[in-house]
Amino acid sequence: MKKSSVVKTLLPVIIIAAAVVVLVVLVMSKQPPEKKTAETKAFLVDTRQVNRESVNFEVQTQGNVLPKNQTQISAQVSGRVASLSEVFVAGGMFQKGDVLVTLEPQDYETELKLAEAEMAQAQAALAEEVARGEVARQEWRSVNTEAPPELGLRKPQLASQKANVKAAEAKLERAQRNLERTRIRAPYNGLVVSRNIDIGQFVSMGTQIGTLYSTDVAEIRLPVADSDMAFIDLQQGLREQENVILQARVNGIRHQWRADLVRSEGILDSASRVSYVVASVEDPYNRDDQSEQDMPLRFGQFVQASISAGQPRQLFVLPRSVLRLDQTVLTVNADNELEINPVDVARTDAEHVYIAEGLNEGDQVVISAVPNPFSGMKVRLASETDTPPEESSDAPDSSDDVKLGAQANE
């Protein structure tokens, strides 16, 4: 009994001692771990090789359609309104020379007859005086060989009668004009905007009887920002035709018209800091059967205008996001190092930036986001690896991406 008890007591001790020995042996025989130097990869970027492109800018603006000529038509003589043309109503269309208003002509017809009678009397008196002068000349020669005096030949009386004839001619011409002015005619092809008189109304000389718009030519006065005037070549624009495209929505349908750039007003507005150019459209109301416009361009219509009257320019066209806040662009040199390039920006829009100077043909421009870039920073090109920049293990965390995206958008 004592022997078995001793064995039971020593057995756990022996097992523990054996385990310790085995552990020591294993620890002593373990090889140390292989040490490896951590490799830091260069930042992965996406690039695009750039070259100059021919760019012809279009300047966007807007304006109202107005007639080239608008007239407050007035009466040149006094009289009662005898008749009105059927087209002399608001919106009525007329042709050049059409009689719009007729005033009572009786008084002016009487004046014309009196002027004709005075003219006949003056001509008769002149003929009589010519005859008297001829008789006086013959009588003088019959009794004298010397040169006759002017008074003897009745030359002063002849000059007086000639003056009377001219005065009578002037009165006759005035009477004829006044009679013609009782018929008020249209000065051009156009439409009636408003009428201020009616039949039976007495009008005095100078009374405004209505407002007319010419339909031969419409003009659109277009404001252009001073920074956009650099993209409009007025000399070229005047030589070319249909270099302005007008657009407007009529009855829910968008229509388009072509116009010509005809002039610049030549003054920079001191308040709005814009200049004004003028575009014109021939026959806006399609009154000519040869007109190519599909829809009348009505006066008062508000239109959007696109002006393409500039010379093409050779520029670098890049995504808007590559331009940084300090007007610089990142490029990668032959040693895969970043370079920060100040650039001269010709123009920007919502999607693109147009660069005139600061880059060279064939430069590799960085188009992906780079956190905290600096000159000489080592990078890897996405074109040299299968892993795109956004999937790379060394890409910046999400917070950096948000900051960089905001900076690029600005």
* Cβ atoms within 10 Å of 248's Cβ, excluding its own: 19
295 with 323, same domain? Answer: no
How confident is the model at residue 236, as a pLDDT? 67
Domain hosting 266: range is 217-307
How confident is the model at residue 295, as a pLDDT? 85
Q: Quick check: is 87 in a domain?
A: no
Q: Decide: helix, strand or coil at residue 153.
A: coil
How confident is the model at residue 391, as a pLDDT? 40
Which stretches of the chain score pLDDT less than 50?
A: 1, 389-410
389 with 318, same domain? Answer: yes
Of 307, 340, 359, the one marking the end of a domain is 307
299 with 317, same domain? Answer: no
We report the CATH number of the domain holding residue 269 as 2.40.30
293 with 371, same domain? Answer: no
137 with 176, same domain? Answer: yes
Number of domains in the chain: 3
Q: Quick check: is 334 in a domain?
A: yes
273 with 331, same domain? Answer: no
284 with 351, same domain? Answer: no
We report the CATH number of the domain holding residue 381 as 2.40.420.20
How confident is the model at residue 372, as a pLDDT? 87
Q: How far is CA 189 from CA 66, 94, 173, 269, 404, in A?
A: 15, 6, 28, 33, 62
For residue range 129-161, list pLDDT tens digits in order: 787 777 667 666 666 666 666 655 667 777 888
278 with 341, same domain? Answer: no
Greatest extent of the chain over all pairs of C-alpha atoms, in Å: 208
383 with 334, same domain? Answer: yes
Find the helix packing angle between 155-181 and 106-143, rounded to 10°. Answer: 170
Q: pTM of the entire structure?
A: 0.68
User: Tokens standing for 372?
Assistant: 């905290």
Instruction: Say if residues 211 and 73 touch (Cβ distance below 8 Å).
Output: yes
Of 307, 324, 339, the one marking the end of a domain is 307
How confident is the model at residue 287, as a pLDDT? 86
Q: Quick check: is 278 in a domain?
A: yes
Provide CB contacts within 8 A for 240, sequence distance 6+: 260, 261, 309
385 with 338, same domain? Answer: yes
How confident is the model at residue 93, as a pLDDT? 95
Of 181, 204, 237, the one marking the end of a domain is 181
Q: Quick check: is 253 in a domain?
A: yes
Q: How many CA atoms does the CB half-sphere of 37 hold within 13 Å? A: 3
Q: Quick check: is 257 in a domain?
A: yes
Q: Quick check: is 26 in a domain?
A: no
Q: What are phi and psi of 289, to 5 degrees?
A: -65, -20
Measured distance CA(401)–CA(279) in Å, rounded: 47
How confident is the model at residue 291, as a pLDDT? 52
How confident is the model at residue 63, as a pLDDT? 95
